[in-house]
Amino acid sequence: MPDNTHIKFLLDEDEMPRSWYNIMADMPNPPAAVLHPGTHQPVTPDDLAPLFPMALIMQEVSTERYIDIPEPIRDVYRQWRPSPLYRARRLEKALDTTARIYYKYEGVSPAGSHKPNTAVAQAFYNKEEGVKKLSTETGAGQWGSALAMAGAFFNMDIEVFMVKVSYQQKPYRRNLMQTFGATVHASPSNLTNAGRGILAQDPENMGSLGIAISEAVEVAAMSGGTTKYSLGSVLNHVLMHQTVIGQEALLQMERAGDYPDVVIGCAGGGSNYAGISFPFIGEKLRRGLKTRFVAAEPMACPSLTKGIYAYDFGDTVGMTPLVKMHTLGHDFMPPGIHAGGLRYHGMAPLISQLHEEGIIDARAYHQNATFEAAVQFARAEGIVPAPEAGHAIKAAIEEALNAKEAGESPVILFNLSGHGHFDMASYDAYFAGRLQDYEYPAEAVAEAQKRMPQVV
């Protein structure tokens, strides 16, 4: 019986998860190997050691179901975790739906999104192994500000390559990183070979996540070990750190007296969607449940719905290992949609494989539709969502309205991955009718495929 008297389901501090959940333990098939970019042979831990601390490399390949969360990380987490789970009663009323809609809210973290869940963990493990500085990339700035905050907590230097178009359009995110003490560069920059190479070909290049990754990886690789590289999504260990979200939600849904029929999240690199869904997917796989899983992505950068499942680089220049994933091609330059966190050419290998195996569905939306959903949500629930999270809201509203049509009463759970306080200019553009909807050209993937690495 659902609890119809509460709208907020909190957990005690001591109910915060004590371990991360590793979905590799429950997947029907082992994940595809990660390949060396030069030899196309499986990478070894030693290959990755210049970029990552050994503890994270070991997490990347672990098949243990649970990995303990060290106490210093939990100590930081508990400032805002367990995060609240809400029943969206006012939204349900506004939609006049028979569905019960729940959302997990990760915007309560000091950086305003789910990103600190892994930023704090990565800073901790690097600090433990004596690393002084972390380099990273950021698009919209959610990830960069999370790592900047973690760097402030663990007294580490943070150097962020921020996609140039966002650096110019989102000065407040940049100011936030600087307030936390980080150094922020517009990417492509003149500070790296990768950046100089891009600028030599195209001095007006406005940057992409792929290019910024190339720059940040180069800084770490050339540092002689003092600087390591930190990634905010895509990798197995990053997704695993986010599973605190779904583990808490499992317990909170139980308190609410409900269990989701469908679990929804937006997906760019895949980390917030993994966070909310993996623990529920684990339940489904182990217990044979019928739960549906929906990843919502932008029409302008539709890796799961339009990309191909193939080996590709994680960055634009081709410095990273090759991973098997849904990709639009490592040189794909996504249009300047306002959900900057979803402008990535690839998708996390674990999410890609689960999609390929039919466990996760994906849907793509145009940005105007996601802003319309976000505004409806804001007026009902008071929380202004990040444009990325607007994609999850759009999918949740679609599910709720379909249920009403069909006379059904499903339980819908989505992850509200962050607030939109730093994205108000995007709302302004939406209200002014200045947002453009971009269709991904059907022939583009076949073209991109020709430029992808040919793995035998």
**Sites of contact with a second copy (CB under 8 A):** 6-8, 10, 12-13, 75, 78-79, 86, 90, 108, 110-112, 116, 149, 152-153, 171-173, 175-176, 178-181, 375, 378-384, 419, 421-422, 424-425, 427-428, 431
Please, what is the minimum distance in Å from the beta carbon of residue 28 to a second copy? 39
Please, what is the minimum distance in Å from the beta carbon of residue 84 to a second copy? 9
Please, what is the minimum distance in Å from the beta carbon of residue 417 to a second copy? 16
Alpha-carbon distance values, 207 to 137, 335, 339, 366 (Å) = 11, 11, 15, 22
C-alpha count within 13 angstroms, C-beta hemisphere, residue 186? 14
Residue placing its CB nearer to a second copy in the complex, 36 or 90: 90
Please, what is the minimum distance in Å from the beta carbon of residue 428 to a second copy? 5
User: Which residues face 312 on adjacent strands?
Assistant: 323
Please, what is the minimum distance in Å from the beta carbon of residue 7 to a second copy? 6
Q: Rounded to the nearest 5°, which phi and psi values hold at 369?
A: -65, -35
Residue placing its CB nearer to a second copy in the complex, 42 or 110: 110
Residue placing its CB nearer to a second copy in the complex, 124 or 332: 124
Three-state SS letters, 217-275? HHHHHCCCCCEEECCCCCCHHHHHHCCHHHHHHHHHHHHHCCCCCEEEEECCCCHHHHH
Please, what is the minimum distance in Å from the beta carbon of residue 374 to a second copy? 8
Alpha-carbon distance values, 50 to 46, 54, 104, 235 (Å) = 8, 10, 36, 16
Residue 407 CA to residue 179 CA, distance in Å, equals 51
Peptide bond into 171 cis (omega under 30): no
Tokens of 234: 């895509």
Tokens of 360: 């996760």
Residue placing its CB nearer to a second copy in the complex, 56 or 111: 111
Please, what is the minimum distance in Å from the beta carbon of residue 88 to a second copy? 10
Residue placing its CB nearer to a second copy in the complex, 110 or 257: 110
Residue placing its CB nearer to a second copy in the complex, 181 or 453: 181
Give the residue from 270, 230, 307, 239 showing the smallest Cα distance to 388: 270
Residue placing its CB nearer to a second copy in the complex, 16 or 51: 16
